């Protein structure tokens, strides 16, 4: 694995963690705006979950194991979905 691939992967991990923390901050802001207090242990639990996601992504990057695929076909970007039988 090249250095540029590792650097790009680390940037990707930082972006994912930042987006998850931003989503948590928006939810916290919305709950406080609605007058619903969020307990500190729930906030810490959310941060722990985000940290575990980041750790999983880091291990997947370093060991070369596949990460979770949410969008797309398994097998890379070359796969084409067809509706006609083979």
pLDDT in tens, 19-70: 999 999 999 999 999 999 999 999 999 999 999 999 999 998 888 877 666 6
Q: Report the alpha-carbon distance of residue 37 to residue 29 in Å, rounded.
A: 10
b/e 30-45 (16+ beta carbons within 10 angstroms → b): eeeeeeeeeeeeeeee
Q: What is the 3-state composition of the chain as percent helix, strand, coil, each rounded to the nearest 5? A: 65, 0, 35
Give yes or no for a contact between 28 and 43, defined as CB atoms under 8 angstroms apart: yes
Entry pTM: 0.72
Domain boundaries, the chain: 3-63
């Amino acid at each position: 694995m090249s250095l540029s691939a590792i650097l790009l992967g680390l940037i990707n991990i930082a972006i994912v963690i930042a987006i998850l923390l931003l989503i948590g901050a928006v939810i916290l802001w919305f709950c406080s705006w609605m007058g619903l207090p969020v307990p500190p242990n729930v906030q810490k639990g959310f941060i722990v979950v985000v940290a575990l996601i980041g750790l999983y992504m880091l291990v997947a990057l370093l060991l070369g194991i596949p990460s979770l695929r949410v969008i797309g076909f398994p097998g890379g970007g070359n796969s084409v979905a067809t509706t006609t039988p083979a």
